[in-house]
Structure 1
Amino acid sequence: MPKKDSVVDEDEISLFQAAMSDVEPLPASDKIVIGGIETSPFPRKNKGQKNAKSEDALTDYVFVAIEAGDGWSFVRPGMSHQTLRRLRRGHWRIQDSLDLHGYTRDAARQALGAFLDICVQQKFRCVRVIHGKGLSSRNREPVLKARVGNWLMQRSDVLAFCQPRPEDGGGGAILILLKSKV
């Protein structure tokens, strides 16, 4: 296969930039469009429907990519990014912690769901989950980090999460801001 000239690459780049010049980002939304049908990312519960076990509701099929580096975060659509800044800076005191070192994926999912259920019942606002840095794993990469983030995004009672300061766990942990139940 012949290699392209750098001139062609520059032409392609300028053509792309010209084509994208009037494109505006979409507004943040909590809706997902599948095949032209707008749907909520999580099913709504009927008023008479009992709470399902949270560990059964969390799935590995919702995926969020973690970019290079450990400083990743999530804030629920509609929430202010100021909330995320306050969480990152330690505005809320860590009220409880869960250590997932040594857990399998399924055991970690169940433990996380049960832990968050208890924290919500006890009206905790800020909790920490220690997922580890992956130093003992096969590729020396964190095994549970992305999964924990994916599971947290699926819970409606999680408003935001971020990597804590180094003294609170750094890249091996995650701070979670929960909804305040009034």
Structure 2
Amino acid sequence: MTQHKQASSEDLDAFLAAVDGATPLSRPDRVSFEAPKPSPRPRQRERDEAAVLGELLHAPLAVDDWLDLGGADSFLRSGLPRTLLRDLRRGRWSIQNHVDLHGMNRHEAHAEVAVFLSESMAEGRRCLRIVHGRGNGSPGREAILRQLVKVWLSRCQEVLAFCHAPPCDGGDGALWVLLKAGGKRR
């Protein structure tokens, strides 16, 4: 252990004489090690995405929804030009993301679709494929998920249009979905 002693006036005078005429180092050559500031949280986007999830997961299913969309092979949001749906059907949009709902019950599928749409929107992906199957494994061989997915998509305001995929991409067991443009939000 070292002991510190008080500097005497002689020591202080000797030190000042030794550094007399010295030039201090300039400050700009110093490196500052500040922690990077966190990026701002997009709280409104988070609230919007949570609202979309809530809308998809908890909105009641009306009989009109079943009748309006159950047998429809496509959907176009009101006020949009029919050319948008035509271009989607013709494959003029490239599929940027997909999800397969095979083996899921309707509750699992509902949650999966909601998360899939939310993540796709956040990543700026516009054209999606949702494989819901043809219902061959369902009781009574009814395509319950096919009908439900159409209803869920039609309720989501971010969905502009959807249609059945061509046979090479799943046919009536899959949907092509077009979302609103919004760009990458992350």
Q: Give the shorter-chain TM-score range.
A: 0.5 to 0.7
Alignment map for 1:12-161 (pairs within 5 Å):
50-51=47-48, 52-58=50-56, 59-62=59-62, 63-65=65-67, 66-67=70-71, 72-161=73-162
Secondary structure of 1:118's partner?
helix
5+ residue gaps, structure 1: 1-46
Amino acid at match of 1:170: G
Of Structure 1 and Structure 2, which has the larger fraction of its residues in helix?
Answer: 2
Is residue 129–residue 173 contact of structure 1 (8 Å, CA) maintained in 2?
yes
- Distance in 1, Cα, partners of 2:137 & 2:111: 22
Task: Please say which of residues 49-58 and 171-180 is displaced more in the overlay.
Answer: 49-58
- Distance in 2, Cα, partners of 1:48 & 1:110: 19
TM-score, scaled relative to structure 1: 0.68
Q: How many residues align?
A: 133
Is residue 60–residue 151 contact of structure 1 (8 Å, CA) maintained in 2?
no
- Distance in 1, Cα, partners of 2:60 & 2:102: 19
RMSD after superposition: 2.0
Which has more radius of gyration? 2
5+ residue gaps, structure 2: 1-43
In structure 2, the partner of 1:167 is: 168
Question: CA offsets per residue over residues 50-107 of structure 1, 9 Å max, x none?
Answer: 333533212341414333xxx6100000111111010011000011110001111111
Amino acid at match of 1:56: G
TM-score, scaled relative to structure 2: 0.66
